[in-house]
Amino acid sequence: MTAFKRLDKGGRIDRSKTIAFTYDGARLFGHGGDTLASALLANGKTLVGRSFKYHRPRGFLSAGIEEPNGLFTMGEGARQEPNIPGTMLPLAEGLSAKSQNAWPSPSFDLMAVNGLAGPLFGAGFYYKTFIGPFKKSWMFYEPFIRRAAGLGKASETLDTARHDAQYGFFDCVVVGAGPAGLAAALVAGRAGAKVLLAEQDSELGGSLLSESSATLERWRMDAVSELQSLANVTTLVRATAQGLYDGSQITIAEHKSNGMLFHVIRAKTIIIAAGATERPLVFANNDRPGIMLASAVKTYLNRFALVPKSRAVVATNNDSAYETAFGLAEAGVAVTVAELRPSPTGDMLAQAAALGIAIFPNTGIADTAGDKQLRQVKLAGRHSVTIDCDVLAVSGGWSPNVHLTSHCGIKAKYDAKIAAFVPGGFAESHFGAGACLGHFGLLAAVRDGESAALAALARRGFTKKPKPVELPSVREDRPYHIGTGPRLSDIAKPAKAFIDFQHDVTAKDIMIAHEEGFHSVEHMKRYTTLGMATDQGKTSNVNAIAIMADLRGIDAGTAGTTTFRPPYSPLTIGALAGRSVGKHFRPVRRSPLHDWHANNGATFIEAGLWLRAWYYAWAGSTPEDAYIKEMELVRKGVGLADVSTLGKIDVQGPDAAEFLNRVYVNGFAKLPVGKARYGVMLNDDGVVLDDGTTSRISDTQFYLTTTTAQAGEVMSWLEYLLQCHWPELKVHVASLTDEFGGMAVSGPKSREALQLALPGIDVSNEALPYMGVKDVPFGGTTLRLMRLSFSGELAYEVHCPANFAISLWEHILTAAEPLDIKPYGLEALASLRIEKGHVAGLELDHRNTLDDLGLGKMAAKEKPFIGKELRLREKYQAPERWSLMGLELLEPEKKLRGGSILFAASDEIKGHGRGYITSVTWSTELDKFIALGLYQGGLKHEGEEIIAAFPLKDEQVRLKLVSPHFIDRQGVRLHA
Amino acid sequence: MPEVTLAARSPLATVSAYAAPGISIFEDGNFTLTQVAGFGRGFEKPLAEAVGKLPLKVGIANSTDAFTVMRIAPQQFWCMGDHASAGLPSECLVTPLSSSRCRIKIEGEKARILLSRCAAVDFDERSFKPGHFVMTGIHHTPVLIHCIEAHAFHLYAMRTFALGVWEWLVDAAGGLNHE
């Protein structure tokens, strides 16, 4: 049984082009120019899915983006995408569509049994049905509800579509390429403005594509042709304006052959010509397949050459549906009009009579009949007759598409003359035109478009007067006249009179919401879930508001609307993510020595954005094995580590010393040239921000290093201080993190290693004492040698321009090979510093004070520095603050874990404890696990036995609180 | 031990030039980049004598046979050219940055579209002309893009992010050729 038949001629389809596609596994055929929806209708597929809750048979309601019923899962496997409206999908060879929400098929759906339980699924049924009888009932029901809910299913396979983003800048963006949009783009384009015209349909023309008039088609083609000839005009089709944001930014999602292109556009002016959406009528069983919006029936007729097989009923409360009635009658369909008003306006009665159309005034629809497709319509009112028909075309009036202005935070306002909401205004440099303003005539739209464009040009200061737009030679617009909106009293059987087709919200649900006190449109929406499906209530919103207003005894304007938010139509997460997936998910930062590490057995670990060499294959195949060997290498011989990731900042200017003196807690004003000093800086709250060593290169130049993690923040902090607090200081800072590679040569044999690698350069204790610095020419560049140690051993850092880092690294390894020098990685580097008791990122967590970290004595008493006063706050000086401690494991058979919570031996193991472990390592020197941690009261408890609990694994171990400096407390090795 | 000469190595040493109809991307290395800063207007006159006329505002690059100079902040310049730091006046604070950036050249009729897929900048020919530069971000990292000809650009990426930026550009270019 089919409702529609394809005409032999007419429409915009290309009958010479046959396109094969599959629907639920069946091979079907359509034509070029078809949408999936029109092709399915042409193939007799009127029933294309089942409804959300009740699994009622559903067919296409519309021919556009507002479609609530005809949603499909497209593609297979990785390209599978659910909830695609068939009305918006151009038919393409090989296209594969599957129906949704039905099993095994829409025509025989076992889940239709839900319909029997319909009374259980009314408004708020979640809250009422699944809350009891027990406290945890919801937890029991939830998985079942979630499994039953939802529309299509997303693929769980990695999406292979290629989505991307593109940024654009235009003088004028026109949204919508109907008559208003075309006119606006023509005027702006003729004036020389850089114009973007975006249309969600696959062709430019909007409502003109649904017209049968040759005159209008000529006008459309002329306009399109001219626009495409203008170099300053860009036109996009299948491109939907999704969001409008502050700063006149508009996003447009364009369907490309292999994915979505997401345009992010800054527009100096925006003309919204987004048109209007027709509303259905509300009556019992208004959801059967074959009941469609009148405008959709007109589109299927004029654009896709599809007509109802023999008889159609048109039900309307306004004039616009008569064009559908006339078109159908001219195509040979027997048409009956159920007119809710006393009579149509103007000349339509005469025209209807000439075409043999029967009009029943003051008549609505009482009910419909049919199983899986509409079969009969029962008229209401004094003409209570039943009519057999294939299609029922309904029109409850038109709702201007106010979404984009709503995105800008502008509330829509109610216009009683058209019984709909219109934009409450426009943001600066935004304009409206055509049906989205509630101006429903074709010529009005063209005139609006022209006016809006002229206003936009004037706003942008364009002085060139463009040639006016020629009006199409058609009769003047009929005045738009509409009767009342839906009232509950008009609906004979409200139980299955649908408002929101996609979420199965009925007029009765609105009534229930009202009875239960959910009167506000915002409450009604959430209680009934109206307007919350993928169509976002495009066809249901106004009808629901009208009914609620009726129930409350107020007008719809007083009831108001909910707020529309982006996106205008559903977008996949993939379209938003664009290319930021897989290896492009986030940027990766690589050391200048990265390639060497990769080629020489390093295993990498992510550290922030950095990829760092974690450990090397020479030392073992697991980190646990490798880092211990690498630690031993440094403690007993010499190792080479990549420290290029440290933040490095050039501080220059006559006031550089004064600047650093204010930034660091300790003094830098008198640091001699050629010397480095460890420094700690606080933020303005008195908490430790970062630490590092800073070297004085000349009287006016310092080389500041930061921790890897804080490099960016410290750089920003210094810039901020110079620009906002101390603009009088003559200092410039520049990041050198990328400019210099750095390597640590560490271990008792490090001096020998450098002597081998850098012959002729004196690195003796006298020439380069602990914390000494010097720049030396070597190998065609300049090296910066610094006698620094993070490991606690005799050690040096060698920094050089990053271009030469690999060459220098290889040279050191080769030259010092007789000493058995080898590389060591991040795990060993971090473990060595724990043994030495150096704090690092895990301890510098923006919550600890100088005193917490045992660094209070560093703070200068005389000079001012950032955070000096606030660090002395009472709470920051409290003796029971959590302070840095060393921890030794007392139970060697057990494991010590970072993050463990610390308790006194007598404490109940419960709550947040008295501190926690920040860093753990195996100590090669002490032959046991050791750790750094923060413990209440700190060193006052040195020597005490405590408990470390790790609740996630239900583990507890005994520890001893000790000094955080596990090795070489006198610094003998450092100064060797 | 024989005298050692350290060899320079680019972070893009492992990649090959990309070429497709309308677009080519390759590393255009071997440049000297020096950041020069100072205070007040005092240092600009002698600097101009050393490197040529200084641009008056950020976003414009002045090029001579020897130097390209960009004002990157009110009192900071990037000077590109051989031995740029040599002979600079003593009032200048000089920071060598040649290793810190990787220079990628993008050219072809699709170059502007490619860039508009990567950065939120107006790359229209009427807005971004030869001699213009912009400091922006690509793939969340800072870059400087210099228009050197109508359809040719130098992109200065941070060295440590350079490979990721390269891969991002090439990936975007690949997409252009599939549309």
The pLDDT tens digits for A69-114 are 999 999 988 889 999 999 999 999 999 999 998 888 898 888 777 7
Chain B residues whose beta carbon lies within 8 Å of the beta carbon of residue A594: 11
pLDDT higher than threshold 60 for residue A560: yes
Q: Which of B39, B93, B144 is best to mutate for the A interface (most A CBs within 10 A)?
A: B93
pLDDT higher than threshold 70 for residue A760: yes
Q: Which residue has the tokens 């023999």?
A: A310
- Name residue A567's beta-bridge partners: none
Cβ neighbours around A953 below 10 Å, total? 10
Residue type for position B158: M
| Tens of pLDDT, residues A167-216 | 999 999 999 999 999 999 999 999 999 999 999 999 999 999 999 999 99
| Tens of pLDDT, residues B32-71 | 999 999 998 889 999 999 999 999 999 999 999 889 999 9
Alpha carbon of B57: minimum distance to chain A alpha carbons (Å):
19
Here the tokens at position A225 are 């042709």
CA triple B171-B173-B178, angle to 5 deg:
95
pLDDT of residue A125: 78
Whole-model pTM over 0.90: yes
Using 50, 70 and 90 to split pLDDT, how confident is the model at B1? low
Average pLDDT over residues A143-155: 76
Ramachandran angles phi, psi of A304, nearest 5°: -115, 5
Here the tokens at position A940 are 């006052």
- In Å, how far from its chain's centre is CA A709? 26
Q: Is B42 on the interface with A (CB under 8 A)?
A: no
pLDDT of residue A487: 65
- Name residue B37's beta-bridge partners: B76, B93
pLDDT of residue A116: 72
Chain B residues whose beta carbon lies within 8 Å of the beta carbon of residue A741: 99
Here the tokens at position A611 are 């990829």
Mean pLDDT of chain B: 94
Which residues are CB-contacts of A797 (< 8 A; sequence separation ≥ 6)?
A: A643, A742, A743, A744, A745, A785, A786, A788
Cα–Cα distance between A592 and A799 in angstroms, integer? 11
Q: Which of A784, A803, A804, A810 is best to mutate for the B interface (most B CBs within 10 A)?
A: A803
Beta-sheet pairing, A901-904 with A882-889: unpaired
Average pLDDT over residues A30-54: 96
Which candidate from B1, B8, B158 shows the least CB-CB separation from A804? B8
User: Element (H or E) spanning A445, and its range?
Assistant: helix A442-460
Alpha carbon of A559: minimum distance to chain B alpha carbons (Å):
41
Q: What is the DSSP string of A593-632?
A: THHHHHHTTEEEEEETTEEEEEEEGGG-SSHHHHHHHHHH
Residue B76, Ramachandran bin (φ over 0: left; ψ between -120 and 50: alpha; else beta): beta
Here the tokens at position B26 are 């390759």
Which candidate from A592, A759, A778 shows the least CB-CB separation from B11? A592
pLDDT higher than threshold 70 for residue A485: no
Cα–Cα distance between B43 and B58 in angstroms, integer? 17
Q: By the 8 A CB rule, do A602 and A806 touch?
A: no
pLDDT higher than threshold 90 for residue A851: yes
Q: By the 8 A CB rule, do A207 and A229 touch?
A: no
| Nearest partner of A48 among A5, A116, A109, A115, judged by Cα | A109
Average pLDDT over residues A505-522: 94
Cα–Cα distance between A411 and A63 in angstroms, integer? 28
pLDDT of residue A78: 87
Q: Is B158 on the interface with A (CB under 8 A)?
A: yes
Which residues are CB-contacts of A837 (< 8 A; sequence separation ≥ 6)?
A: A886, A932, A963, A964, A965, A966
pLDDT of residue A659: 98
Here the tokens at position A57 are 């048979």
Cα–Cα distance between A547 and A921 in angstroms, integer? 69
CB contact under 8 A, B98 and A801: yes
- Name residue A359's beta-bridge partners: A337
- Name residue A377's beta-bridge partners: A368, A387
| Nearest partner of B149 among B100, B120, B87, B107, judged by Cα | B107
Residue A771, Ramachandran bin (φ over 0: left; ψ between -120 and 50: alpha; else beta): left
Cα–Cα distance between A316 and A308 in angstroms, integer? 18
Q: Is A759 on the interface with B (CB under 8 A)?
A: yes
Which candidate from B5, B120, B161 shows the least CB-CB separation from A587? B161
Alpha carbon of A657: minimum distance to chain B alpha carbons (Å):
15
Alpha carbon of A169: minimum distance to chain B alpha carbons (Å):
6
Q: Which of residues 623-662 of A touch B (CB under 8 A)?
A: 650, 652-653
Chain B residues whose beta carbon lies within 8 Å of the beta carbon of residue A808: 6
Preceding peptide of A587 cis, ω within 30°: no
Chain B residues whose beta carbon lies within 8 Å of the beta carbon of residue A592: 11, 99, 159-160
Q: Is A607 on the interface with B (CB under 8 A)?
A: no
Cα–Cα distance between A900 and A891 in angstroms, integer? 15
- In Å, how far from its chain's centre is CA B142? 11
Q: Is A777 on the interface with B (CB under 8 A)?
A: no
Using 50, 70 and 90 to split pLDDT, how confident is the model at A124? confident
* A661 SS3 class: helix
| Nearest partner of A642 among A531, A805, A476, judged by Cα | A805
Alpha carbon of B78: minimum distance to chain A alpha carbons (Å):
12
* A737 SS3 class: coil
Using 50, 70 and 90 to split pLDDT, how confident is the model at A159? confident
pLDDT of residue A493: 53
Can you give A283-331 as a three-state secondary structure string? Answer: CCCCCCCCEEEHHHHHHHHHCCCEEECCEEEEEECECCHHHHHHHHHHC
pLDDT of residue A120: 72
Beta-sheet pairing, A291-293 with A391-395: parallel
Chain B residues whose beta carbon lies within 8 Å of the beta carbon of residue A813: none
Mean pLDDT of chain A: 94
* Chain B residue with minimum CA distance to A611: B160
pLDDT higher than threshold 70 for residue A156: yes
CA triple B119-B125-B128, angle to 5 deg:
55
Q: By the 8 A CB rule, do A349 and A339 touch?
A: no
Q: Count CB pairs under 8 A between chains A and B.
A: 140
Cα–Cα distance between B170 and A187 in angstroms, integer? 39
Average pLDDT over residues A231-249: 97
Average pLDDT over residues A226-250: 97
Cα–Cα distance between A660 and A692 in angstroms, integer? 12
Which candidate from B121, B140, B178 shows the least CB-CB separation from A586? B140
Which candidate from A257, A802, A811 shows the least CB-CB separation from B179? A257
Q: What is the DSSP string of A783-813?
A: EEEE---SSSSSEEEEEEEGGGHHHHHHHHH
Can you give A86-143 as a three-state secondary structure string? Answer: HHHCECCCCCEEEECCCCECCCCEHHHHHHHHHHHHCCCHHHHHCCCCCCCHHHHHHH
Alpha carbon of B39: minimum distance to chain A alpha carbons (Å):
7
Average pLDDT over residues B138-144: 97
Cα–Cα distance between A155 and A98 in angstroms, integer? 13
| Tens of pLDDT, residues A413-423 | 999 999 999 99
| Tens of pLDDT, residues A631-665 | 999 999 999 999 999 999 999 999 999 999 999 99
Beta-sheet pairing, A259-272 with A164-175: parallel
pLDDT higher than threshold 70 for residue B99: yes
pLDDT higher than threshold 80 for residue A375: yes
Here the tokens at position A488 are 């509950």
Cα–Cα distance between A537 and A501 in angstroms, integer? 9
Which candidate from B97, B119, B171 shows the least CB-CB separation from A167? B119
Average pLDDT over residues B148-169: 98
Chain A residues whose beta carbon lies within 8 Å of the beta carbon of residue B158: 738
Using 50, 70 and 90 to split pLDDT, how confident is the model at A835? very high
Cα–Cα distance between A114 and A119 in angstroms, integer? 10
Average pLDDT over residues A580-586: 94
Burial of B74 (0-12, 13-18, 19+ CB in 10 A): exposed
pLDDT higher than threshold 70 for residue B84: no
CB contact under 8 A, A194 and B124: yes
User: Element (H or E) spanning A577, and its range?
Assistant: helix A573-577
Chain B residues whose beta carbon lies within 8 Å of the beta carbon of residue A736: 95, 100
CB contact under 8 A, B97 and A739: yes
Which candidate from A257, A266, A802 shows the least CB-CB separation from B159? A802
Measured over all CA atoms, what is the biggest interatomic distance in chain B, rounded to whole angstroms? 59
Cα–Cα distance between A29 and A43 in angstroms, integer? 8
Q: Is A738 on the interface with B (CB under 8 A)?
A: yes
Using 50, 70 and 90 to split pLDDT, how confident is the model at A117? confident
Q: Is B109 on the interface with A (CB under 8 A)?
A: no
pLDDT of residue A494: 54
pLDDT of residue A381: 79
Using 50, 70 and 90 to split pLDDT, how confident is the model at A510? very high
* Chain B residue with minimum CA distance to A738: B100
* Chain B residue with minimum CA distance to A164: B117
Q: By the 8 A CB rule, do A28 and A98 touch?
A: no
CA triple A340-A344-A347, angle to 5 deg:
165
CB contact under 8 A, A738 and B124: no
A102-122 exposure pattern, b = at least 16 Cβ within 10 A, e = fewer = beeebbebeebebbeeeeebb
Burial of A327 (0-12, 13-18, 19+ CB in 10 A): buried
- Name residue A318's beta-bridge partners: A482
| Tens of pLDDT, residues A926-967 | 999 999 999 999 999 999 999 999 999 999 999 999 999 999
| Nearest partner of A639 among A831, A852, A803, judged by Cα | A831
Q: Is B41 on the interface with A (CB under 8 A)?
A: no
- The fraction of chain A above a pLDDT of 90, given in percent, is 88
Average pLDDT over residues A823-827: 98
CB contact under 8 A, A165 and B168: no
Q: Is B48 on the interface with A (CB under 8 A)?
A: no
Q: Which of B1, B3, B4, B102 is best to mutate for the A interface (most A CBs within 10 A)?
A: B4
- The fraction of chain B above a pLDDT of 90, given in percent, is 85
Alpha carbon of B130: minimum distance to chain A alpha carbons (Å):
19
pLDDT of residue A878: 95
CB contact under 8 A, B14 and A595: yes
Cα–Cα distance between A273 and A278 in angstroms, integer? 16
Chain A residues whose beta carbon lies within 8 Å of the beta carbon of residue B27: none
Using 50, 70 and 90 to split pLDDT, how confident is the model at A489? low
